[in-house]
Amino acid sequence: MVDTQQGGFKRVWFITGASRGIGALIAEAALADGNAVVAAGRNVKAIVERLGESPALLPVALDVTDEAQAKAAVQAAVEKFGRVDVLVNNAGFGLLGAVEESADKDVRRMYDTNVFGLLNVTRAVLPTMRAKRSGHVINISSIGGYRAGAGFGVYSSTKFAVEGITESLYAELKPLGIHATVVEPGYFRTDFLDGSSLIVAPEVIDDYDETSGAVRRKATQMNHNQPGDPKKLAAAMLKLVDAPTPPLRLPLGTDTLAAIAAKNEYVTQETEIWKELSGSTDFAD
């Protein structure tokens, strides 16, 4: 719901990972559209350098893996703007490598941010949304959150978790007047595939050269050449929050649309082929 009374802002957005990439662009688009923005990130100086200073902007320190910091950041947001209308759980990064090549410490680090971090921030924000019986939780998943493939298996598993969490949030929050949407970007031109963000598994197993190895090579070529325009993604977020009935899932990019169609067809066909065995396991009574 749009409340133009408090502070004269359309909505109050809380965006994680707002220092660069998709998070910074959503922050810029929301500010330009008359919203207040709580821009959360590990490096507050980088946020101020990127977004400047404005009465509509509150930069806050937030490493999403730190639950106490998430609570403090939300408290600062509510003290300044009185509410949080839109939470964008955007902070995240990828791990490139075959499942077997992915080291335990890298897997845990990614889960700490992409899954447990998202949960930390969501738990911190929801009490204020529930109190107002309004709000919108937007979780940034991925094309890999709908279908997994060679090379990004563990990353995809974190985004599958984000999809499951959001699907449940959608059901739990709807009766409370709060929307939940999981956004599935395809490949967008940010630092996602860059060494400054992406972890590349140091172990390389020759047996995976044609599968995960091919994806490693493609990712190097694609870095900063991805088809998706992140400014258009940011503009789409403004449309999403204006929708009277926002969707549970919002795929973004023609690559994601093609991947969803292919997966849906595969699942339909495979389920049909195996339906006799699948339907044979109930008790007879």
Q: Which of 109, 96, 126 is nearest to 65 (CA)?
A: 109
The binder of ligand NDP chosen from 185, 208, 212, 219 (CB under 6 A): 185
The binder of ligand NDP chosen from 19, 120, 166, 181 (CB under 6 A): 19
Q: Where are the beta strands (DSSP E) in the chain?
A: 12-16, 36-41, 57-61, 86-89, 95-96, 135-140, 178-185, 199-200, 249-252
Residue listed under structure tokens 């860059």: 194
Report, in angstroms and rounded to the nearest whole number, the Rg of the chain calculated over CA atoms.
20
Span near ligand NDP by CB under 6 A; candidates 71-79, 96-104, 189-197, 271-279: 189-197
Decide: is 233 part of the binding site for ligand NDP (CB under 6 A).
no
Residue 159 annotated to the active site: yes
∠ CA 137-143-149, rounded to 5° = 135
Question: How many residues does the structure list for the chain?
Answer: 285
Looking at residue 209, the DSSP 8-state letter turns out to be I
- Residue whose Cβ sits closest to ligand NDP: 21
CB of 134 to ligand NDP, least distance (A): 25
Q: Which of 67, 71, 65, 63 is nearest to 47 (CA)?
A: 63
Interaction with ligand NDP in 128-157: which residues (CB under 6 A)?
140, 142
Residue 208 annotated to the active site: no
- Binding string, 52-91, against ligand NDP, x = CB under 6 A? ----------xxxx------------------------xx
Q: Which of 93, 211, 107, 195 is nearest to 142 (CA)?
A: 93
Decide: is 117 part of the binding site for ligand NDP (CB under 6 A).
yes
Q: Of 10 and 38, which has the nearer Cβ to ligand NDP?
A: 38
**Residue 242 CA: distances (Å) to CA of 56, 221, 247:** 19, 37, 12
What is the rounded CA–CA span in Å between residue 203 and residue 105?
Answer: 13
Size of the site for ligand NDP (CB under 6 A): 30
Decide: is 33 part of the binding site for ligand NDP (CB under 6 A).
no
Which positions lie near ligand NDP, rule CB under 6 A? 16-17, 19-23, 41-43, 62-65, 90-93, 113, 117, 140, 142, 185, 187-188, 190-192, 197, 226
As annotated, the active-site residues are: 141, 155, 159
